[in-house]
Structure 1
Amino acid sequence: MTVMPPKGRAGPAAGLSLAGLPPEPIYDTEVVELRLEDAGAALLALPSRGCLPAGYRSNWPDVVADAAEAYGYGEGGVRPPVPSARRVTQMDEAFGWIRLLPRDRINHRRILLLRALTSPVTGRHRHSWRSIGEMFGWDYRAVQRWHAQGIGWIVQALYAQQLGGADWARLWRAEREGPDSLARHAGDAPHADLGKGIRTTRW
């Protein structure tokens, strides 16, 4: 029987705390779900023109010949900003968590990936619980339950890595205690592991 760690926001990267209790998880259920949704929004915001090489194009905006064709009067939608390199790295990290699910749980992987797709403009999910269920012939309540199970497995796997002293947990602590962190007090020396690697922040 697997015991879930207490839900928390921040804590030591690995090992036991001063009180002798296990550290609070860096990634809890809420944060993992938000990270996956942000990864889906970043994926949809990436510029794409299909699988074929792009042809000749100009970055200049189209000439407005009529006032009725000005911005806001036509059918053109709002284009989301291109994600930064840091956000793309966070996207790759979050989608990499899908591999933490058991290999035979293909349906859980599908649900997590489909539910993660959110509009980069409105923030709304591209696929509702019912629409995902209709795609595969599942009940929407089962879709919600399997989604929660998948998120729970990711949280447990990340917490196990944190307790094992994984590099990402150690570097997260170094970044949190770095000179730009709000959690670091003035006059404290920077963490010894700061600058040894680059990883994304918790959010």
Structure 2
Amino acid sequence: MVKSLHPAARILLWCGWAVAVERAPLAPLIILAVATATAFLFAPVRRQLLRLLRRTRWLMAVLLLTYAYTLPGAALWPALGWGSPSVEGAQQGVLRVARLALMLAGLAALLAYTSRPRLIYGLYVLARPLTWLGFDRRGFAVRLGLTLDYVEHAPKPARWLDALRAPLPDEATPATYTLQAERWQSWDSAVILAGLLGVLIVLA
């Protein structure tokens, strides 16, 4: 059943997960963290999560230091005087980093079990309301798919300076990008309603 879940439903589930993680009080957040730890039992999720954590490690470090040194409170190391971070700031920084890590864990599960074309098709479906505002969702899907394919298959230069000097791809070359349409089923609606109920329970 999980494999047959519509890609748009999967993206919506991750959005609900992100909202729950962001707004959950501390006690439910700990329960979510324990549940997320089971993701490490599955190799595809573990690989995706470790890659996402590695790419965001500097962001997490900056967030932690920013909270620790900007929020007022008691000094964590009084001996350092003004150079000491605050206890309250450090606590809020750790909490912020933990929330971000849980969001990335949900994203890792989404990326591990949903192929790129299905993800793009899910975004294509979810962008349908934007067409009323003149948004070209078909052009968006094609550009996103071709760009990601180019990034994946483009040769990686040894130095960043070589990347800047590398010639741009020939835009005159015709290229197509095909997505396989999928039907929204009653199972998808049931899963979304169950996810919404779970978010409301966590926030309550």
Fold in common (TM above 0.5)? no
Q: Which has the higher contact order (CA 8 A, sep 6+)?
A: 2
* Structure that is richer in helix per residue: 2
